[in-house]
Structure 1
Amino acid sequence: MILRINRSTDKSSNYKTTFSHLRKLCFIVLLVVLTGLVAMAGKPINYYVDPVKGNDITYDGTSAAKAFRTIEKARDVVRTMHANMKGDIHVYLRGGTYWLKSTLLFDTTDSGTGGFNIIYAAYKNEKPVISGGKEITGWNLYDTTKNIYRAYTGKGLETRQLFVNGVRATRARSTVAPSPLTFVKAFGYTAKADVFANSSIPMQQWKNQSDIEFVFKNEWTAPRIGVGTITRNDSITTISMKQPGWGFVTNKGGTSVGGNHNAKGLPWFIENAYELLDEEGEWYLDRTTGFIYYKPRTGENLAAASVVVPVLEELVRIQGADAGNKVSNIQFRGLTFSHATYLRVNGNRGLPDAQNNVIRDDQGESIINAAVNLTYARAIKFERVVFEHLGGNALNMYSGSQDNLVVGCVFTDISGNGIQIGDYKGMFTAGTENYILNADSLVWLRNNDVYNSYFNKIGVEYFSSTAIAATLPVDMDIVHNEIGNIPYSGIHIGWGWDRFATSVSQRTNIQYNYIHDVMSVLRDGGAIYTLGPTNGSATNKGRISNNYIQNVNNQFGALYADEGSSWFDLTDNVINNTPRYAHIWISTIHDININNNYTTTLNNVNKGINTSMTNATLVSNGNWPSAAQKIMNNAGLEKDYLNIKPASGK
């Protein structure tokens, strides 16, 4: 548009005329801009889903009164309009449980476009639960003496968990190891007598012997493997374990069953037999008959209780086509992901964990399944989402996951890891996406951040699990989280030991976290644990600072830089109640600076190259200096996110 101004010899008149025209011009330009913004933003597009009153056939989903019934229907409708987005698209989920029959899939046709997002959010303050579970009803008293109830589930049910009124039940288990046993690496165990475990019935007379599972505690791992058969021939009892899993758990390095840290090869306890069902809160599934058995806790009324078993292993999968064609710009707000299981351990391959719950077998090293999985995914956001009652990991991010954000989320009652960033398969094989030196930045695990989230009761079944783990993170921030009640390490960063001098991993920042009550079951880990090389330098470091660490039940280090770790500054942390505040135990560790920390012990180990531990302030009787108090007060959840923490701390 051209503005024409009439010239005048009268300066005052000229000024007034010019000002008037300029004012009109500004108004016109503003109107054009606002019109453009409205056109760009478009009319808000909202869809609604109601698991109780919704209808996928007759309703169009455009209002709460005409909501769809399933998330899949809403997703499919949104797919038809994602290519030309003029604003964010909201899919509001009403409260209630969305019982999934199969994994909910999102691919590139579900991406937000034009810089906008597709947002799946809780409707107002309601609680939508996305569940992979099945409700169990029809309970009847089965054993009046032992107060054991049972319900028929139908044959073919496979699960490893049961939840009663939102509380995890315990698979029937022993309080002691079977006895007597002699370890035989080739196949299992022998005994020159009957073998007993928490039952007056010898184990060779137990039913469903192939359901029995042996659980071990081997330093920093807790492998599991099932029984094949138990026989008694004359005076000899023979327990043959499942193959090939027995071979995996007995040949996985120093923590092998029968290895350096378990020379006698004996289990810690055993589980999953009806004969072990003797404590309140225990359960057992007889897959041969289709009956599930449960001994209620005091006050539980099974006629009115909500009893759920998870049957799906994966609730949500978000997967792009490849590293150059990623699914992107999808957000989840205020949702709950619940009731997923993990079935590998039920079979013949067992759980041969290396550490950080990493599987080590004839397929190499890999991670266990998660309820929610991302691959080739970018700009995916989880905000105030609850991950609970899950039988594997909660959230996995695989190759090509970049610019994803977890903020204000809760992770609780998880069998495995809370968050696992990156897989381990092929890390030492050139040409694989996970290769430790892969130069293709599109497959890097870059800028996946975790802020203001709450982790509690992680690794409740697989004890070598951690709250947050990452293989080869690049530009990852782990900031202002609370992590507590963990059987192994709180945060586990890196892999590779000293096999490579460098890796693609760099600039991991772990700051302002409150980490407490970790290493409660296993040994040789830390509140914050690093492993393997980085691509760092004197001007390119990771930072571990301003964390408050409390109650680390571990003779190693609250701050633990393990083999190959490099280029980290660990400064201005508070360490309260741990046997050793820092641990650098071998010369493959280099260029680590541990400085200006406050601790209740000066016990440390420092055998690295160019590694320093300086200015540690010893504190006793709770007399923390003001600088330490400031770190303690600022660590953990920030004010706006304190309300995500359950009032009971569960």
Structure 2
Amino acid sequence: MGSITITLLLMTLLGVTAEKYIVDDKNGDDNNSGLDVSYAFKTIQHCVDHLQNPGDECHVRTGRYHEVININGLRGSAENPIIIKGYNDERPIWDGTVQIKRLGWYYDSVTGICSTDMDQDITALFLDDDLLTAARWPNALWSDKTIFNNSFFGHCAKSSLFGNIIDDGTGEGTGLAGSGINATGAMAILNIGSWETFVRPVLHHERGSANFTYNHDMDHNIAWKPAYNQYYLEASLELLDVQGEWFFDHTSKKLYLIPPFDGCPAVNADILRGRTIDYGLTVTNTTGLIIANMTFFASNIHAYSHNINSLIDNIQLDSLHFKFPSSSHRMLSNIDYPLITSLDASAWSHGVLHYGKLMITNCTFEGSEGSALVYKGKECYVHNNIFMFNEWSGQTNSSGGGGTVIDKGFNNEFSQNTLMNNGNSAGFRGSLGADIKYNNIFGQCAGKIMNDGAGIQVADYLVNNTKISHNWVHDAPPKHGIRFDTPEPSNGHLGHGGYIGYNVVWNVLTINVKGDDHVVENNFAFDNEESNGLCNLCVYYRVRTDPTIENNNTVVLNNGATQADGGRDLDTGENWPLAGAVVENNFSGEDIKHHMVNPPILDFRPKKGSVLDQENVIGPYKPNLESSFYYIPGRKLYKTSSPIPPDGAVESTKRDAVIFLGGYMAEVHHFYFGTDYELVSNASLSEEEFQYSLSSDEGNMFILPDLKGNTQYYWRIDAKRGGYLFKGDTWSLNTMST
């Protein structure tokens, strides 16, 4: 630390100034100075080679940059970071693909398959920058997202054994036996360990047979559950039979494709791209670095600390779009876990684990195979990101516990993020002391491609001092919503001192609380369609046959649920009451939604005077207009979003307010209201449609004027941030006849 301080002091005394370099792949030249748009560098690598001092920057112009860059030894600071970012408002693409242009294709008019020779291996194929699906059985596609649904899997008969899968005949057509394929040599994606999925080559299969063999060489006991075991096959020419699929024979270097249109791609058409690299950017032994305002297409980032001398610190990813960031190598007959976006700011020294800090803000992660993001550091900040449609195979990583986003660090914040329709059994996996708040998690593994799991899951001792608050977890019926987990049997290995408060979960299994010494307060849990008489707010006394008594010292206050209890007593068939040292003012009843303002439009405020409106209010929200704040979780856009009531809603004339998710980092919001669409859409602050403004500190609820019956109203909310005004959409609100 002292050497860095001395270096900065010397730089100041010597008058060293930071430089801003320009990169332009179309008009640049690496022989230029890089100091002006007219004298730009051509490659990001050449610009990185010139980054020497804190505050130096690379500004990258629009273009596709097919580069593999290793950053090692840069020393920026929190005050003067080194920056690599898009130039002004331009969005360059850090591209892991190459164009596939061919002078000709061979077309098989019987099968519709196009084929051509390649000169290098590819691991993914894209048409117009969208993913094509590796040939598979049963058929399913990325384009319609059926690959996330286990209705398009093969299902194992209960007579299946380790190493020998027997298809039960319920898959596509009449199952594997009736498929007409010979799957020998294909890659089998085997969800045979409940929350674990393994990849193995098919060793032997015969056409017309319902069974195939694989090498069952897993290095640990797996949760083999015959009733849930399922699989699909991939990466064989035998499986290529529908539009939108492809296969690459890495032995002959021949590419086979059935495009989503008739015929083959036109000669030299610039529409097809193949992935040839995994990590476009690798970072180590670096501090004070920001990567911002770029798209990583079929490419991603690996940042790591090899030892204490190479510890990374103050690394920020800001406003990046990771589009198909990681791809498996199954098409190359490789069973390894994909090389995912991973940042590890930790290193051991003399028996002490040291941490750096990471920040991932305002990024988009979509279409990843494997976890979308794994990070490890201390007091990291992962905020206002969206993770959508990641992980359709569910392959298990080397540590055995998967998730869309995995925190492996200490005292990290995961906030204001959206997780949308991801395939892994777990959405967010928290770690020690994590602060998990204001996240919107929905559709997690809703297609049941894996068993078990939860939208937010924290296991065993990692529960200690973890806080989960102000989240919505919903619409994933086979999964738990929020879960403090323990092994079973626990053998006394319980998590302690966790907090679960002010969350809303619905159309999922449970808020599931195991361990002890927790606080569980002001949560809502309802609409568990698969409950079968079991709790959806479960503060466990005992878990099934485990003899350990849990939650002896837990505090359970002000919660509302369809059914709240302490789990099922398997000896009597009855449910234990909610466990805890203090259990007060909780509501359990199937009519819970009747006591809220309007749950279908996400207005969960208690009705005034209802059973939820107690001296200490039950649930996370205040009744009616008692508060001007109504938290809406999830990623914020620059403009306002998530209107309540939603656009086009029909409401009573007694509707008291409109609610919205504020603009990202907005300071003030302006409210417009009226009965004329054009006037409301185009109004300024000086016109009568403008109602009033609220600072972000004053809330996100605008009180409505008196409403007339059978009338269509329009409303708009603009967000102001600094000198920028982000105009909101114009939403409609219709009133019922009085």
1:51 maps to which residue? Answer: 25
Q: Deviations over 1:582-618 (max 9, x none)?
A: 1135xxx222221111232562332223334432224
Aligned AA for 1:270? L
* Map 1:60-99 → 2, pairs under 5 A: 60-78=33-51, 81-82=52-53, 85=54, 88-99=55-66
1:525 maps to which residue? Answer: 453
1:625 maps to which residue? Answer: 605
2:197 maps to which residue? Answer: 222
State the Cα distance separating 1:477 from its structure 2 match.
Answer: 0.6
CA distance in 1, matches of 2:417, 2:46: 35
After superposition, the Cα gap between the structure-2 partners of 1:181 and 1:173, relative to the gap in structure 1 and judged at 3 Å, is: farther
Secondary structure at the residue paired with 2:634?
coil
* Map 1:74-223 → 2, pairs under 5 A: 74-78=47-51, 81-82=52-53, 85=54, 88-100=55-67, 103-108=68-73, 110-112=74-76, 115-138=79-102, 140-154=105-119, 157-159=121-123, 161-175=124-138, 177=154, 183=160, 185=162, 188=164, 197=176, 201=180, 203=182, 209-223=184-198
CA distance in 2, matches of 1:515, 1:318: 30
Number of positions where the alignment pairs a residue of Structure 1 with one of Structure 2: 501
State the Cα distance separating 1:119 from its structure 2 match.
Answer: 0.4
Q: Deviations over 1:65-119 (max 9, x none)?
A: 21111111111122xx32xx4xx2110011111112xx411112x2215942110
Q: Deviations over 1:171-216 (max 9, x none)?
A: 111126499997553x54699xxx983876452xx6xx43433433
- TM-score normalised by length of structure 2: 0.62
2:412/2:434 contact within 8 Å kept: yes
1:584 maps to which residue? Answer: 513
CA distance in 2, matches of 1:198, 1:545: 49
Aligned AA for 2:497? W
Q: Deviations over 1:404-461 (max 9, x none)?
A: 1011111111111121124xxxxxxxxxxxxxxxxxxxxxx21121011111112133
1:542 maps to which residue? Answer: 466
Give identity over the alignment, percent: 17
CA distance in 2, matches of 1:116, 1:183: 60
1:452/1:479 contact within 8 Å kept: yes
1:372 maps to which residue? Answer: 302
1:308 maps to which residue? Answer: 273
Secondary structure at the residue paired with 1:222?
strand
Aligned AA for 1:569? Y
1:330 maps to which residue? Answer: 289
CA distance in 2, matches of 1:402, 1:593: 30
RMSD of Structure 2 on Structure 1 (CA) = 3.5
1:466/1:486 contact within 8 Å kept: no
1:470 maps to which residue? Answer: 407
State the Cα distance separating 1:534 from its structure 2 match.
Answer: 4.4
After superposition, the Cα gap between the structure-2 partners of 1:93 and 1:182, relative to the gap in structure 1 and judged at 3 Å, is: same
Aligned AA for 1:278? D
State the Cα distance separating 1:628 from its structure 2 match.
Answer: 3.6
After superposition, the Cα gap between the structure-2 partners of 1:393 and 1:214, relative to the gap in structure 1 and judged at 3 Å, is: closer
Using the TM superposition, name which of 614-623 and 327-336 deviates more: 614-623
Task: State whether structure 2 residue 475 is matched by structure 1 residue 551.
Answer: yes
Secondary structure at the residue paired with 2:38?
helix
- TM-score normalised by length of structure 1: 0.69
Q: 2:247 aligns with which of 284, 309, 318?
A: 284
CA distance in 1, matches of 2:516, 2:155: 45
* Map 1:261-300 → 2, pairs under 5 A: 261-262=225-226, 267-298=230-261
State the Cα distance separating 1:231 from its structure 2 match.
Answer: 7.0
1:383/1:408 contact within 8 Å kept: yes
Secondary structure at the residue paired with 2:498?
strand
Q: Normalized per residue, which structure has more helix?
A: 1
Q: Deviations over 1:612-646 (max 9, x none)?
A: 443222442644216548886431123537789xx
State the Cα distance separating 1:516 from its structure 2 match.
Answer: 1.2
- Structure possessing the higher relative contact order (Cα contacts under 8 Å, 6 or more residues apart): 1
CA distance in 1, matches of 2:243, 2:192: 24
Secondary structure at the residue paired with 2:80?
coil
1:482 maps to which residue? Answer: 418
After superposition, the Cα gap between the structure-2 partners of 1:575 and 1:283, relative to the gap in structure 1 and judged at 3 Å, is: same
Task: State whether structure 2 residue 369 is matched by structure 1 residue 395.
Answer: no
Q: 2:220 aligns with which of 252, 260, 264?
A: 252
Using the TM superposition, name which of 595-604 and 273-282 deviates more: 595-604
2:391/2:422 contact within 8 Å kept: yes
After superposition, the Cα gap between the structure-2 partners of 1:299 and 1:128, relative to the gap in structure 1 and judged at 3 Å, is: farther
- Name stretches of at least 5 consecutive residues in structure 2 with no aligned partner: 1-9, 139-152, 168-173, 306-310, 328-337, 348-354, 397-401, 487-493, 528-534, 541-549, 562-591, 607-619, 623-627, 641-662, 665-727, 729-738
CA distance in 2, matches of 1:114, 1:384: 18
State the Cα distance separating 1:136 from its structure 2 match.
Answer: 1.7
2:442/2:476 contact within 8 Å kept: yes
Q: 1:560 aligns with which of 483, 500, 506?
A: 483
1:95/1:129 contact within 8 Å kept: yes
1:454 maps to which residue? Answer: 386
CA distance in 2, matches of 1:168, 1:286: 18
- Name stretches of at least 5 consecutive residues in structure 1 with no aligned partner: 1-35, 321-326, 341-369, 423-444, 495-504
State the Cα distance separating 1:474 from its structure 2 match.
Answer: 1.5
Aligned AA for 1:63? D
CA distance in 1, matches of 2:521, 2:15: 50
CA distance in 2, matches of 1:105, 1:592: 44
2:567 maps to which residue? Answer: none
After superposition, the Cα gap between the structure-2 partners of 1:534 and 1:210, relative to the gap in structure 1 and judged at 3 Å, is: closer
Q: Deviations over 1:380-406 (max 9, x none)?
A: 111101111121364212234522101
